[in-house]
Structure 1
């Protein structure tokens, strides 16, 4: 099992149980005690969890906490890949779209390589680099300027000015959290303002968010739930959350995670792929 896949499994168990023990992970993943401890140390250094004696616990994050791209890349891999594949099926060849920063939208961007004639506007360094590196002849890729955040989004006045001059078909938006009262939110004030400009530039908003984002509230809201024309998430969403979202979102799409998918093996993913157990 690859290190990236193993660490994703650790994060999935941690998000479900709120605490994981080394002994349990050794049995669950079929690897050595030393391998698990190395994984926990790597995830701790990325800011994904807090190490404690004999295991790890969920990292207590204030509303301003903003995990880096690498830390978020280790979470919910199968869910993100299934969400990304389904969202890509909503993209029409020849359309003009915006893609926000985030690890789910990065997974989504890989699927855009097979769709011809797209104009893609993004404030994600990772998404722009992926699309540029693929060199699809019929694609036009526009990267906004701006100040780079810990999650590798370009934000601020330059990005906002660029977005305000555009008229796009659909924005595909990743979010830090979603909540019945706070709506869709992010811990970064400038990113929230930039995302609001991106949303305003498009006729339609599609949110890509795995089920662990429900109930998470960042410092700044960028849109109400009712702003979304569609929300693509996974079947881990609770029944209460499904009802709350169905009342506000025009189209709620629930996808089954594809546990067999290995998205980090394709198109230069930023995740570690060479550390074999």
Structure 2
């Protein structure tokens, strides 16, 4: 048909919003005569846009007519929102102004549509644009790699990040707790409390070697719970460092426990817990449960409410209270809180979950938790250039005010530094220094000197200031931190030890052509046992991988190991028999988080900080050096 008149467009706007209209309805709404309305409707009927049946007028909803309405700017709200979703499906990201132009409506109307769609969990609004909301955690009940659901795996991963060696931890019977239990190595040195038989079974299958306690002596086989009766209670001396409480659903600002949970036990645990972590699967939002969890009673102890990214931030901000420390967890990121804070800090972190990285990660989470006006956005990377660059760009899309780079990727330092400078975003580099950044980490020259001093002292006192063999356990490739520590240690040894070997043996992990274990065994076999050997170990993994072989081929009286990256595992090894481990340089990763947060807040508040800032270095020695 020919171009529609303004009256016809006005009629269509009214008709498309209703199931049907009558001529009387239209005449009253537009303040026109019934005859005028009839004349305006006739061309629309002939064009097949409208259908008149028994005095009722309705829109003929075909693809062709929908396109006509779109080009005329008279789509109903439902039709317009459906068209927005279609356009976002066709293009990964669409500007709000582009949507307004295509749909012939105002930008304000599009923003209102996107708000409604975001509340339904269908889109995500960004700055000036929108994308389809696609949770990174699949809706499937299980993954190909685990008996637990993908959601449980992600929530368990983020839960484990809060657990430290020597903690006393409570795990309830939820799926996430079972996944946490299955992920704990047998020698984790945690004291675990539980009220669930399934947790005991998981730990038994995993051959967990440290204490496991149950909360009560009354056991219900039907519920598989250990329960507290009225006259019972948990030991008064018991301190639970961290309690993980899996909620079965959430509705009306109320968290619900599973119906078969023992509420008395959960309350007793929460009373004696220092920190509580509430865990919730987004699949069970808006579902009314039968057993409310007394959340507000323990709000002062609740550190985080962990939920998977099946929910967007906008919807979460409406469903949850402003007081809730909500953490949206995905495979590669976490939001400290969905609320708008004074500052948003981006944390780019390596996925490598060794002791040191995990301790730094934990400490930063705790420092953020103590700072109520900071939101922490976390992106993980694999430690290579491509993943570090991708993770940084995702952080920048989140409009963070400052970036903390703990990617541990030498190749990406230049890019990260230049990118943050170009966006006028302050940057803190952890352990590796990017251009233009503020550095926080170890004074590596000092760390090497401490190792050299301790080794020199022992050699002069016990080996007549003479060493026959010097072995360095390191990492293959250009790794400046290790090289700086080695050179600093050797410089001190050369100054303070009368005789060092001319040849320094190096065993490197990650070498493409050499098996480090075979190379180490060959070297140890060729070295006479009675000749003193000094071993410098600059990586925890390399030391642990070599320790049993060193014990097998070397006498401890003629062998000393100077280590870096002290952990509880190293401490345990130093306690066993005549350990050759002289001691270990300790970088105190547990203090990284607070120090980094102090630097970040000073930078964001416009204060000045030093270009280089160092963690406290200490020497942890074995109890006896004889």
Judge same fold: TM > 0.5, yes or no: yes
State the shift of 1:215 in Å. Answer: 1.9
State the shift of 1:208 in Å. Answer: 2.1
State the shift of 1:242 in Å. Answer: 4.3
1:95 aligns with 2:167: yes
Which residue of the partner structure matches residue 290 of structure 2? 219
Write the distance in 2 (CA, Å) between the matches of 1:110 and 1:159: 33
Cα deviation digits, residues 57-81 of structure 1 (max 9, x gap): xxxxxxxxxxxxxxx9899811111
In structure 2, which of residues 295, 307, 310 is the aligned counterpart of residue 233 of structure 1? 307
Cα deviation digits, residues 115-166 of structure 1 (max 9, x gap): 62100000111111222343333x2111233332655332241896236662
Cα separation, partners in 2 of 1:115 and 1:242, compared to 1, 3 Å: farther
Which residue of the partner structure matches residue 153 of structure 1? 225
State the shift of 1:194 in Å. Answer: 1.8
Write the distance in 2 (CA, Å) between the matches of 1:128 and 1:149: 14
Which residue of the partner structure matches residue 69 of structure 1? none
- Structure 2: runs of 5+ lacking an equivalent: 1-140, 333-626
Tell me, what secondary structure is at the counterpart of 2:234? helix
TM-score normalised by L of structure 2: 0.27
1:141 aligns with 2:215: no
Cα separation, partners in 2 of 1:76 and 1:98, compared to 1, 3 Å: closer
Cα deviation digits, residues 195-216 of structure 1 (max 9, x gap): 1112112111112221112222
Tell me, what secondary structure is at the counterpart of 2:178? helix
Write the distance in 2 (CA, Å) between the matches of 1:106 and 1:121: 13
Write the distance in 1 (CA, Å) between the matches of 2:235 and 2:269: 6
Write the distance in 2 (CA, Å) between the matches of 1:181 and 1:222: 11
Which residue of the partner structure matches residue 496 of structure 2? none
State the shift of 1:176 in Å. Answer: 1.4
Cα separation, partners in 2 of 1:152 and 1:183, compared to 1, 3 Å: same
Write the distance in 2 (CA, Å) between the matches of 1:248 and 1:160: 33
- Structure 1: runs of 5+ lacking an equivalent: 1-71, 258-277
Tell me, what secondary structure is at the counterpart of 2:200? helix
- Give the conservation status (yes or no) of the 8 Å contact 2:307–2:326: no
Tell me, what secondary structure is at the counterpart of 1:162? coil
- Superposition pairs for residues 69-84 of structure 1, below 5 Å? 77-84=149-156
Give the superposed CA RMSD.
Answer: 3.2
1:112 aligns with 2:184: yes
Cα separation, partners in 2 of 1:114 and 1:132, compared to 1, 3 Å: closer
Cα deviation digits, residues 168-190 of structure 1 (max 9, x gap): 101011111223432343324x6
- Give the conservation status (yes or no) of the 8 Å contact 2:234–2:268: no
- Give the conservation status (yes or no) of the 8 Å contact 1:178–1:185: no
State the shift of 1:84 in Å. Answer: 0.7
Cα separation, partners in 2 of 1:251 and 1:164, compared to 1, 3 Å: farther
Write the distance in 2 (CA, Å) between the matches of 1:202 and 1:154: 18
State the shift of 1:96 in Å. Answer: 0.6
In structure 1, which of residues 177, 194, 197 is the aligned counterpart of residue 265 of structure 2? 194
Which residue of the partner structure matches residue 329 of structure 2? 254
Tell me, what secondary structure is at the counterpart of 1:223? coil
Q: Give the paired residue count.
A: 185
- Give the conservation status (yes or no) of the 8 Å contact 1:97–1:120: yes
The answer to which structure, 1 or 2, has the higher relative contact order (CA under 8 A, 6+ apart) is 1
- Give the conservation status (yes or no) of the 8 Å contact 1:187–1:220: yes
- Give the conservation status (yes or no) of the 8 Å contact 2:246–2:257: no
Cα separation, partners in 2 of 1:221 and 1:195, compared to 1, 3 Å: same
State the shift of 1:246 in Å. Answer: 6.2
Cα separation, partners in 2 of 1:165 and 1:133, compared to 1, 3 Å: farther
Write the distance in 2 (CA, Å) between the matches of 1:160 and 1:175: 24
Write the distance in 2 (CA, Å) between the matches of 1:197 and 1:124: 15
State the shift of 1:253 in Å. Answer: 3.5
Write the distance in 1 (CA, Å) between the matches of 2:213 and 2:318: 37
Write the distance in 1 (CA, Å) between the matches of 2:258 and 2:316: 19
